[in-house]
Amino acid sequence: MSETATSNASQVPAIEGWFTLDQNPHLIGSQCTGCGTYVFPPREGACPSPLCDSEELKATPFSRFGTVWSYAENRYAPPLPYRAAEPFEPYALVAVQLEKEGIIVLGQAPKGILAKDLKVGMRMQLETDVLYREDGVDYMVYVWAPAVQDEVAGGAK
């Protein structure tokens, strides 16, 4: 987890149900029970594959690791309802292809990692970071950080 989290503040996900806040966080997506198609963000209902007629998606933990597929840098504060820390700091957006699932998930890089620090094909791991603080609560988001841990490819921990 990022060092920017306050140790005495409580932590809650900024978006409930998309990721875990444990020591080895992972995304939570959905998987079709019929054909195995993966979906992120998680949802219920019919399979999105036009080749499948299944009406059931199940919640599924996703890989913590993947590789950079693409990236960009945001140098201006997004409009509301986005909540950014004050003062606004530029950040990188990273599209990461998950090792096991193969889908591409967009997310921010941790504070201090910009586009100049990223390369297509670079191995990344999922972490959490503070999006903003309010009334003693850290509102957390998932971020894609350069991988530093060794783990068997494809498994959510």
Query: Shortest CA distance to 111 belongs to which of 68, 151, 144, 135?
Result: 144
95 pLDDT tier (thresholds 50, 70, 90) = very high
Residue pLDDT, tens place only, 49-83: 999 999 999 999 999 999 999 999 999 888 887 77
Cross-strand bridge partners of residue 68: 96
Per-domain residue ranges of the chain: 64-146
First to last CA, the chain: 15
Q: Distance between CA 125 and CA 148 in Å, rounded?
A: 8
156 pLDDT exceeds 80?
no
Enter the tokens of residue 94: 């990273």
Residue pLDDT, tens place only, 22-49: 999 999 999 999 999 999 999 999 999 9
User: 157 vs 26, 73, 76, 78, 85, CA distance in Å?
Assistant: 7, 29, 35, 33, 30
